[in-house]
């Protein structure tokens, strides 16, 4: 599933990226966000950015970015 599909409080594991988003992948890697990371969805409303926590760091990302991140639900 895609990160955009996760719900508030979900804990998911990053398993890949959708499409050829080389610049996007480099940007996420620079922030310390890599494949295999366990993340928690903190706040996902109907509009606006999605707030997540990855590696102890809170990150807000736009819905377009969350649409490109493939995850699997852990709980």
Q: pLDDT (tens digit, 9 = 90+) per residue, 21-44? A: 678 778 877 777 788 999 999 999
34 token code pair? 């890599």
* H-helix or E-strand spanning residue 29: helix 22-30
CB count, 10 Å around CB of 53? 14
Residue position matching structure tokens 């606006």: 48
CA distance 72 to 16: 10
Q: How confident is the model at residue 72 (pLDDT cuts 50, 70, 90)?
A: very high
**How confident is the model over 49-73, as a mean pLDDT?**
92
Q: What is the pTM of this model?
A: 0.85
Q: State the fold for domain 3-73.
A: SH3 type barrels. (2.30.30)
Task: Sketch the domain layout of the chain as residue ranges.
Answer: 3-73
């Amino acid at each position: 599933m895609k990160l955009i599909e996760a719900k508030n409080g979900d804990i998911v594991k990053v398993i890949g990226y959708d499409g050829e988003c080389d610049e996007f992948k480099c940007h996420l890697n620079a922030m310390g966000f890599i494949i295999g990371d366990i993340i928690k969805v903190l706040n996902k409303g109907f509009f606006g950015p999605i707030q997540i926590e990855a590696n102890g760091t809170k990150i807000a990302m736009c819905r377009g970015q969350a649409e490109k991140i493939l995850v699997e639900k852990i709980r």
